[in-house]
Structure 1
Amino acid sequence: MKLFRIALPAVLSAAVFAASALPAAAEKLSMAEISTYLNAIKSAQTRFVQVNADGSQSTGTVFIKRPGRARFEYDPPVDALVMAGGQQVAIFDPKSNAGPTQYPLRRTPLNLILARRIDLSQARMVVGHGEEDGMTTITAQDPKNPEYGTIRLFFSHEPVTLRQWIITDGAGDQTKVILGDFDRDVELGSAMFSIPTETRKRLGE
């Protein structure tokens, strides 16, 4: 099971998650404005719709605790879990009796928005800065490891809000995540992002 590519055909309405379009003439946000917004997110949660590379869709809830931690809980019948914590990303497959599949967080584009300090003006990090459907778009990559892929972030304006992202992996496959409204500054326990704790729990240890 590949990172953020858990597939399930479903009939879903993404309308409730869609960003409010701004006039096409709206000036795009600066990289400094977006960096300030992202750095202000310490903890948050929201619902999401994920559109996989094969066109299938799934839903769930994402919890973010910066720096370095995220938890994607998928709704039934998928019931999968993707977790970032301890500098690792783990994929827990409910159909597997083995431990999770793990990757270094630094090898995923998601690392860019979970970093301790985000500075989109860093040399070679941003490879695209534009406007689409009234939203500002930023395409970023790890400047030291561009082969890991890119993440394209979409921001609405007034107030600045992250609405969706598209991750393109090293093979060119894309996964889109459409976000709902964020609940900010929520209490999220550290155990939610502990891969060893989750592994023991699932293995009944």
Structure 2
Amino acid sequence: MNRRTLLLSATAAALVGTGAQAQQLSLAQVSAYLNQLTTATGGFTQINGDGTLSTGQIYIKRPGRIRFEYNAPDNSLVMAGGGSVAIFDPRSNGPAERYPLNQTPLSIILADNVDLGRARMVTGHTSDGTTTTITAQDPDNPQYGNIQMIFTANPIELRQWVVTDEVGETTTVILNDLRPGAAISDRQFNIIAENNARGN
């Protein structure tokens, strides 16, 4: 399974609608929502580029930190912290693979100050009456890929994202029961400590 696709160019399934028509969320509304989402936990289902499925738990601590714990039989771990993304493969005896977070579209929503109104950042902004879909990229480095985020309104909530990497491969992460405001230890995002705990 290609973990690099998830974050390095790195939330498809139908969302359950609310049944009520909702106006399209503005970029300012979505930016404000992401900026106040300092911590969150929940479950996720991932649809990989080859069509296989993975499930697990997600931990978000903005700015700059996210953790994906994959359930069995995968049992892998992906985390971002300290400006890097690390991929821990339980089948490997070596240290985690590491990549710069700022070379992943996921860095857009993990930024200290999310500003989707920035010139050339948003390349798509649509609504189907129930959800608002926003596609964003690093305006200075579009070659890193993009992230398509889907939100519901009343209250605003991030439901899924689709990451397209630098070679065009997509990975979808569907969030379920995302709970904002959770207390999460900084240790959960400490790549060096995780490597040490695994004896690497």
* Structures share fold, TM-score greater than 0.5: yes
Within the candidate set 116, 119, 123, 2:119 is matched to 123
1:105 matched to which residue of 2? 101
Q: Is the 8 A contact 1:19 1:163 kept in 2?
A: no
Deviations 1:13-56 (A, max 9, x none): x78xx442455x53210001101111010111010000001100
Within the candidate set 77, 84, 87, 1:81 is matched to 77
Which residues of structure 1 form unaligned runs of 5+?
A: 6-13
* Aligned counterparts of 1:19 and 1:153: Cα–Cα separation in 2: 16
| 2:11 is the alignment partner of 1:20 | no
Query: Which structure 2 residues correspond to residues 38-49 of structure 1 after superposition, within 5 A?
Result: 38-49=34-45
1:192 matched to which residue of 2? 188
Q: Calculate the aligned-residue CA RMSD, in Å.
A: 1.8
1:59 matched to which residue of 2? 55
Q: Secondary structure at the match of 2:90?
A: coil
Which residues of structure 2 form unaligned runs of 5+?
A: 7-12
Compared CA separation, residues 133 and 174, structure 1 to 2 (3 A): farther
Q: Is the 8 A contact 1:45 1:183 kept in 2?
A: yes
Shift, 1:148, TM fit: 0.2
Q: Is the 8 A contact 2:136 2:148 kept in 1?
A: yes
Shift, 1:157, TM fit: 1.1
Q: Is the 8 A contact 2:22 2:129 kept in 1?
A: no
2:9 matched to which residue of 1? none
Q: Is the 8 A contact 1:21 1:135 kept in 2?
A: no
Question: What percentage of aligned pairs have identical amino acids?
Answer: 48
